[in-house]
Amino acid sequence: MQGLVIDALRPLAGGEVRVVGASRTDAGVHALGQVASVESPRPISPETALAALNATLPRDVRVLAARPVGEGFNARRATRLKRYGYLLDTARVPSPFFRGFAWHVGRSLDAPAMAAAARGLRGKHDFSAFCAAPGRDRDPVCRVHSMRVVSRGSRIGVLVSADSFLHHMVRNIVGTLVEVGLGRRAPGWVVDVLASRDRRTAGPTAPPHGLFLVRVRYASAIFPGGRHLGLRRSV
């Protein structure tokens, strides 16, 4: 998506533009609330940028808002909180309307057990056990502010809010919670996995297409209300 925005803005900018997204997302992952900061060789009004981007970008990418920020603002470094959501489909027959947007487990999951397991991951911890190998060169300590498991019919959603995330962290957490939901592991096992700091002890990595970047929050001094929704890949 970053490349698409750069290509769309280049004619207006009169040269190369620099675009920084608030969060990197793997191929197949969706973004409901991605935010990007743009540096341009010449000024572009927010109204012009908004109209030009939505007229040029592919139909599955929409810009919801644009506004000026102070010099040096970086959408990634300035984040205070991010929220991700993951959608699971437990129906025996997958719904065609959720194709590409939910992990079709196809079996009943014990949502209360998953919720009990998830509670043990709240707070400030070393999340090395849920980090993919390519991300192990960074600080593994994250503060998870909230983690919820919500069940609606045959759909289960896992919502995670944290100050930072490791590579594949949410997908690895979801894969681990599914092991609990299937009855293969007790809820308390997840805390043992966390304490091990060993990725080999956790469950499998959930597929990317069930994951959504839901929200990015910033300090109220930057954006009133503490958040600013910039780019959306429509679903």
Instruction: Confirm whether 26 is a catalytic residue.
Output: yes
3-state SS, residue 147: strand
CATH of range 2-77+218-233; options 3.40.50.300, 3.30.930.10, 2.60.40.420, 3.30.70.580: 3.30.70.580
Q: What's the pLDDT tens digit per position in 61-119?
A: 889 888 888 888 888 888 899 999 999 999 999 999 999 999 999 999 999 999 999 99
Secondary element (H or E) of residue 11? helix 2-13
pLDDT confidence of residue 71? 81
pLDDT confidence of residue 232? 44
Q: How far is CA 54 from CA 21, 60, 66, in A?
A: 17, 10, 11
DSSP 176-197: HHHHHHTTSS-TTHHHHHHHHT
DSSP 36-70: EEEE-SS---HHHHHHHHHHHS-TTEEE-------
Measured distance CA(220)–CA(131) in Å, rounded: 30
Q: Does 2 have pLDDT greater than 80?
A: no
Measured distance CA(99)–CA(210) in Å, rounded: 9
- Ranges of CATH 3.30.70.660 domains, the chain: 81-214
Q: Rounding to the nearest 10 degrees, give the CA dihedral for residues 208, 133, 141, 87.
A: 10
Neighbours of 139 (CB within 10 A): 8
Q: How far is CA 211 from CA 30, 112, 132, 225, in A?
A: 6, 21, 16, 25
157 versus 41: which is more confidently predicted?
Answer: 157
- Ranges of CATH 3.30.70.580 domains, the chain: 2-77+218-233
Query: What CATH number should be reported for the domain whose range is 81-214?
Result: 3.30.70.660
Question: How many CA atoms, within 13 angstroms, populate the side-chain half-sphere of residue 51?
Answer: 6
Q: Does 30 have pLDDT greater than 50?
A: yes
pLDDT confidence of residue 100? 92
Measured distance CA(181)–CA(148) in Å, rounded: 14
Q: Which of 7, 26, 60, 198 is catalytic?
A: 26
Q: Does 225 have pLDDT greater than 50?
A: no
pLDDT confidence of residue 40? 86
Pairing of strands 155-162, 30-31: unpaired
